[in-house]
């Protein structure tokens, strides 16, 4: 789960990176510098901060420019992502320490009118909470003492949403159901859904506060279908920013595409003038609950684990040599004439140049949901990947993995969803307004 197109990779452990396309004077790509426009809550949450600005210029998922030392914990609450912008938050922002994924189905009798009212409520709540403010009504005070803590809230629509709202003719072709894969052991009760919400924050209470507010705002318009909780390493937990590790102990996310790449927008976002028009600036999220069979994995020697992945466990460098970012030499052989990077190594199979250029932006969370009766951990990855078209991103890579990935013996896909995530809301708009009122 180490390379660019991997279903199951994590991004860099870095200070919170800003939303990519903000039109405000908020600082680099959408974050408000510490001390600018402080709400009362934000001021309380950042008292004693050292003045380091989270999301320094150049910050991005997987490759964030950052201070040379660890980020002081007292500064974590001051990170702020912007709700309004060309793209929704939670796509190009750096991984947060805590995440919640939740899906809803529209309630019986609810249609387009009720869906529009719900998205209007959710958008208003998201804007307030991401600014470190209380919910407009019925706030629980859970996050009273905290700053925004890089909170992001992202909304998407599932395949069934368009049937329920009588908008079938506006459903994107890219939202057609994913094909079946041999590694799938999917629980339908924990898959798909009419509406999907992704919540991330660098503080667990801030994230829970947002989850509770979103659930309460659903009211009678939508009912909960499933909910999953995830986590990542906290920013500042390492001596210097680095690519994160997954629960297998692997450095994971080395080749994630970067916003600075010339083809980044083309790969990740639907362009202006694309189809359908209401998805301009949006993206498609594939969500998979991937269980890691950790007991089996941990029985392997370190050398065997490295051959499964194709990279060194210590520093993420390819087995062909160099550092983490050194291009992998797929033709290099050892003294016996054997390939140094095995033919079924995960990092070899998932490379874009081995998949017709297929690429996706991965932004996952790890999860641990306890142990079964035999003491086996229910743990793994809440895999989330973003692409302009799943048929050119996730699908070809997963099909290739199905045909002979060495890692497949140690993972199991247990839930799945595909969601159309529209572009960001302009000031005065709510997410999805161009679809629901167009």
Q: How many CB atoms lie within 10 A of CB 356?
A: 11
CA distances from 189 to 177, 227, 429 (A): 16, 10, 32
Whose CA is closest to 324, among 333, 334, 311?
A: 311
User: How far is the C-alpha of 412 from the C-alpha of 20, rounded, in Å?
Assistant: 33
CB 122 within 8 A of CB 155: yes
H or E stretch including 304?
A: helix 302-309
For the record, the structure tokens of 427 come out as 């000031």
Q: Which residues pair with 157 in a beta bridge?
A: 195, 420
CB 111 within 8 A of CB 63: no
Which single residue is written with the structure tokens 């997410």?
431
Q: How many CB atoms lie within 10 A of CB 401?
A: 24
Whose CA is closest to 82, among 14, 10, 150, 4?
A: 150
* Sign of the CA dihedral running 125, 130, 131, 132: positive
Q: How many CB atoms lie within 10 A of CB 399?
A: 14
User: How far is the C-alpha of 268 from the C-alpha of 257, rounded, in Å?
Assistant: 9
For the record, the structure tokens of 150 come out as 């890089």
Query: Is the backbone of residue 30 left (phi > 0), alpha (psi -120 to 50) or beta?
Result: left
CB 381 within 8 A of CB 358: no
What is the rounded end-to-end Cα distance, in angstroms, of the chain?
41
**How many residues can be counted in the chain?**
438
CB 217 within 8 A of CB 86: no
For the record, the structure tokens of 300 come out as 């392997």
Residue 252 known to be catalytic = yes
Per annotation, catalytic residue among 252, 261, 277, 372: 252
CB 106 within 8 A of CB 161: yes
Which sequence positions are flagged as catalytic?
252
């Amino acid at each position: 789960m180490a390379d660019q197109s991997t279903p199951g990779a994590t991004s860099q452990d870095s200070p919170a990176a800003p939303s990519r396309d903000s039109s405000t004077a908020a600082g680099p790509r959408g974050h408000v510098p510490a001390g600018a426009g402080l709400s009362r809550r934000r001021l309380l949450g950042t008292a004693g901060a050292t003045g380091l600005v989270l999301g320094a210029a150049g910050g991005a998922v997987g490759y964030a420019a950052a201070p040379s030392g660890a980020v002081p914990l007292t500064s974590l609450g001051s990170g702020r992502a912007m709700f309004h912008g060309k793209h929704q938050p939670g796509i190009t922002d750096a991984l947060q320490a805590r995440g919640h994924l939740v899906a809803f189905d529209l309630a019986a009798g609810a249609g387009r009118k009720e869906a529009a009212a719900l998205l209007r409520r959710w958008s208003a709540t998201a804007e307030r909470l991401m600014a470190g403010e209380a919910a407009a009504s019925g706030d629980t005070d859970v996050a009273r003492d905290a700053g925004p803590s890089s909170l992001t809230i992202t909304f998407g629509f599932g395949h069934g949403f368009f049937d329920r709202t009588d908008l079938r003719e506006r459903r994107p072709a890219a939202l057609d159901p994913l094909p079946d894969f041999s590694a799938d052991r999917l629980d339908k009760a924990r898959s798909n859904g009419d509406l999907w919400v992704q919540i991330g924050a660098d503080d667990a209470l801030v994230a829970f506060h947002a989850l509770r507010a979103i659930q309460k705002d659903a009211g009678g318009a939508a009912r909960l279908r499933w909910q999953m909780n995830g986590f990542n390493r906290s920013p500042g937990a390492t001596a210097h920013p680095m690519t994160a590790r997954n629960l297998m102990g692997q450095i994971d996310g080395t080749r994630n595409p970067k916003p600075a790449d010339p083809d980044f927008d083309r790969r990740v976002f639907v362009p202006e003038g694309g189809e359908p028009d209401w998805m301009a600036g949006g993206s498609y999220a594939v969500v998979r609950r991937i269980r890691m069979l950790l007991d089996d994995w941990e029985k392997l020697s370190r050398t065997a684990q490295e051959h499964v992945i194709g990279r060194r466990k210590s520093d993420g460098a390819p087995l062909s040599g160099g550092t983490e970012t050194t291009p992998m030499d797929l033709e290099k052989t050892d003294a016996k004439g054997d390939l140094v990077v095995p033919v079924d190594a995960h990092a070899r199979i998932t490379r874009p140049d081995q998949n017709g250029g297929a690429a996706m932006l991965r932004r996952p969370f790890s999860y641990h949901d306890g142990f079964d009766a035999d003491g086996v951990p229910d743990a793994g990855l809440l895999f989330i990947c973003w692409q302009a078209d799943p048929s050119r991103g996730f699908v070809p890579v997963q099909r290739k993995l199905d045909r002979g990935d060495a890692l497949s013996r140690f993972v199991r896909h247990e839930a799945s969803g595909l969601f159309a995530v529209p572009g960001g809301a302009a000031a005065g708009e709510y997410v999805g307004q161009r679809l629901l009122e167009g």
